[in-house]
Amino acid sequence: MPAKKKIDTAKVFIAASFNNTLVNITDDGGNSLIWGSAGSSGFKGTRKATPYAATTAVEKVVSQARDQLGVKEVEVYIKGPGAGRDAALRAIRASGLKISMIADVTPVPHDGPRPKKRRRS
């Protein structure tokens, strides 16, 4: 296995859906380095959607990034409406990494769904 490159700053993407929480750590160029999820941390079914599962997934991925890559500072991008949003952010803050930026990149519809048909009289 080739030696991993040492990087100081990274980007953390958190996708919190109603069913799972995905965590992806990339370098500044957007190349994926380490990823994990509540499902890969050993949770199944509805337990994947809990804040505790999100915290566990983030702790696992962040510890790998710190040990293998030497990451010290991160930019956090959060997407989605799930329960793991705040818990994941708290887990990153508690891990000791310096957070330089937090951005919410949840997509917002500009027009919304199609309206109901007009009532016939």
Is the pLDDT confidence value at 43 over 60? Answer: yes
Task: For residue 118, give both structure tokens.
Answer: 């007009």
Domain range spanning residue 99?
9-104
Residue 117 inside a domain? The answer is: no
Is the pLDDT at 91 greater than 80, yes or no? yes
Write down the pLDDT at residue 5: 75
Q: Note the pTM of the prediction, 2 decimals.
A: 0.86
3-state helix, strand, coil in the chain (%, to 5): 30, 30, 45
d(C-alpha 47, C-alpha 65), whole Å: 25
Mean residue pLDDT across the chain? 92
In a domain, 113, yes or no: no
Q: Is residue 73 part of a domain?
A: yes
Tally of structural domains, the chain: 1
Distance CA 14, CA 112 (A): 24
CATH number, domain at 73? 3.30.420.80
* pLDDT the model gives residue 109: 87
Domain assignment of residue 79, yes or no:
yes
For residue 30, tell me if it sits in a domain.
Answer: yes
How many angstroms separate the CA atoms of 119 and 114, rounded?
A: 15
Residue 2: what pLDDT? 53
Domain-embedded: residue 121: no
44: in domain: yes
pLDDT of residue 6: 84
- Mean pLDDT over 91-113 rounds to 93
Give domain status of residue 4, yes or no: no
**Alpha carbons 5 and 55: distance in angstroms, whole number:** 26
Mean pLDDT (whole number) for 13-20: 95
